[in-house]
Structure 1
């Protein structure tokens, strides 16, 4: 089966799955993922692992679009008004999730280093899961704005903590490597990622100031997403961080930041349908029996950590009770970013030998399907969707 036919199947069947999910009063995202799962290696195997791998460029485009959109939520006005509150909530959510996952998986028999890495990975939140639901149900209000900003902050926290943790573990487990040198190298990588993102964002802002034709601007945005992702892959930098920085700079340099969001909106639906259906096809249910109790521990720890951590930290602020109760469940979706980081963790720490990805994927199977449903309920509970 050629690549064009597979692309057609993914798009059309994915769209049908989303429509059926909507009929069943479920988020379309859940439908895309379930249809992908049914079409993938776990069931029909119409979309094979080789096909999934050959279509990775779509993942880069979708994750880049999401990162720019999430970065665009990091406007200075938001931080001036609610910065302290949002950072406190994100800290509590991240810390609670990290502690719960690391502690439970360690108690279940994993080595400490292994549990620490899983704790860090559990901190990520799926931008695609959150952004797709908010757009589908046209969520608006202070809770939606806070969730969008928290997704950006929490993923940024995770990328930084992940770099520090893996650098330290590399230094501890290798006699040839100095932990201090690895941390310095990690800081250089973060600095380079920020610098590239600033250059890209500056150029896109310049195009907006020049009032570039909307269609040409859209082409430039796509070009810079691929450019950022390509440079990141070549030099081992975080493409997510580069694109988040690009979005953040644009939104802070120009008043007409809706020009960027309008450009992304024109192409996002087919890209997201493709990306999320493909994400479902990636899920391999055969790993679940192998992971067993540890996989369940990861899921329970992440869910419990998010609920408890966000609630406790929000209680230290003036956030209302209704919002406080729904922060944790709104931040449960988890997908693309955590898979990418888990693969990178195993490249840096080969002694983990595929187990990290296996455990993370067991969580992704759960949180990719259940997370959007929980987020939709949180938006209903806070009255920001009908």
Structure 2
């Protein structure tokens, strides 16, 4: 038996990670030839190598590598922000805010209603509805970059998947407060104060924006003096890691902080500086996507599909309807391009890190309430939320990227070579 932490153990871990990266590269290329996105291949390798199949990446190693997923998501968010210039908003056309509000809020309402009709449980319905409102930016950006997508729909997708997460965090914050209130008050605990808890979601968003702004201007002042792409890549990576660390330390949105920093760059920097940063970060993105989606695949327990049940099916169907219908309603009311309004909802169905993270918070919060107030039903709600989100994420991470590629292809915005 090799002791934990010995050189041989470290060698084994590096061997496994290297093999996963190598196999993911070629499986991704093979999958792309079948007209499916490369990231499906990366996730497939991760699933097979993960703790639920071959156990090459066991749970201990997986937990040690979680920081890679977080840094990867931060880089994706920074990349999103770095294309969200005022000029790009003008090119996107009218109705962007309406599209974002529509697809997020309508998804929340439709999922909440669907789950309530199935479970007859308002706290559970509100929590699943709030989590269902969030999209996964990494999957969408990976498809855009993999196929070199360009066009109005692509620009809109960048903006939507970025701001979608910020709005979803606010909705989730309110939903969690009201779910707790309903649960406790219906069980005779009237001392819980809703008003004291309502400030928290706004505080998280405002602080995330403030930190992102400060970091963005500091980054811009530093990057102006650099010329070598390697130096710019190091500085960009350091920025993202610092912002991810601060987000964890201060309980901020790592997506929003990094996205705002990117927006400062693209809206305040000179074109030459912006292009150098984009070229530098583009060098590392293929590696980031392979590691991100392989590790995301390793987290997926395919056997959880067996326990989706009727509630999971209701959640999947209502989320699809809410996203697609909400984008169409919001886009139509806001005067967006009709083609974008009709198709955008199907391109943002991916569900991954943020949804699972929020589900874990719900599970912990409900377990705490169960102990504190002697309410076993609270623990049941938390367990149901986590099980439903974990199981349905497997499905959405498969169909989401495929639909994103289909929508971009239909719009004529991808290079499908």
TM-score after normalising by structure 2: 0.86
Equivalences for 1:65-214 in 2 at 5 Å? 65-80=75-90, 82=92, 84-109=94-119, 111-170=121-180, 173=184, 177-211=192-226, 213-214=228-229
1:236 equivalenced with 2:251 (yes/no)? yes
Task: Choose from 224, 233, 252 the match for 1:218.
Answer: 233
SS in 1 for 2:135: coil
Report if aligned partners of 2:173, 2:200 keep a CA contact under 8 Å in 1.
Answer: no
- d(CA) in 1 for partners of 2:143 and 2:257? 24
Shift of 1:176: 6.3
SS in 2 for 1:178: coil
SS in 2 for 1:383: coil
In the TM superposition, what whole-angstrom CA distance separates every residue of 1:316-366 from its partner, at most 9, and x where no partner exists? 354444433321211112212222222223333333333222211222111
| Greater Cα shift, 248-257 or 186-195 | 186-195
In the TM superposition, what whole-angstrom CA distance separates every residue of 1:177-201 from its partner, at most 9, and x where no partner exists? 5322222244333332222211211
**CA separation of 1:234 and 1:144: change in aligned 2, threshold 3 A:** same
Pairs aligned (count): 386
Give the RMSD, CA atoms, in angstroms: 2.1
2:388 matched residue in structure 1: 359
| Greater Cα shift, 201-210 or 275-284 | 201-210
In the TM superposition, what whole-angstrom CA distance separates every residue of 1:251-273 from its partner, at most 9, and x where no partner exists? 22113223332222111111210
Report if aligned partners of 2:127, 2:175 keep a CA contact under 8 Å in 1.
Answer: yes
1:373 matched residue in structure 2: 402
2:412 matched residue in structure 1: 383
Report if aligned partners of 1:207, 1:217 keep a CA contact under 8 Å in 2.
Answer: no
Task: Choose from 303, 316, 319 the match for 1:302.
Answer: 319
In the TM superposition, what whole-angstrom CA distance separates every residue of 1:36-90 from its partner, at most 9, and x where no partner exists? 1222233323222222111111111101101111222332233456575011111
1:271 matched residue in structure 2: 288
- d(CA) in 1 for partners of 2:337 and 2:179? 40
1:21 matched residue in structure 2: 31
- d(CA) in 2 for partners of 1:344 and 1:238? 14
Equivalences for 1:45-56 in 2 at 5 Å? 45-56=55-66
Report if aligned partners of 2:243, 2:257 keep a CA contact under 8 Å in 1.
Answer: yes
1:326 matched residue in structure 2: 343
**CA separation of 1:110 and 1:362: change in aligned 2, threshold 3 A:** farther
1:64 matched residue in structure 2: 74
**CA separation of 1:77 and 1:367: change in aligned 2, threshold 3 A:** same
- d(CA) in 2 for partners of 1:261 and 1:237? 25
**CA separation of 1:55 and 1:83: change in aligned 2, threshold 3 A:** same
Q: Where does the alignment leave 5 or more consecutive residues of structure 1 unmatched?
A: none
- d(CA) in 2 for partners of 1:198 and 1:322? 34
Q: Where does the alignment leave 5 or more consecutive residues of structure 2 unmatched?
A: 1-8, 368-377
**CA separation of 1:186 and 1:137: change in aligned 2, threshold 3 A:** closer
- d(CA) in 1 for partners of 2:334 and 2:255? 30
- d(CA) in 2 for partners of 1:238 and 1:320? 30
1:348 equivalenced with 2:381 (yes/no)? no
Shift of 1:148: 1.1
The structure with the largest alpha-carbon Rg is 2
**CA separation of 1:312 and 1:187: change in aligned 2, threshold 3 A:** closer
- d(CA) in 2 for partners of 1:228 and 1:176? 37
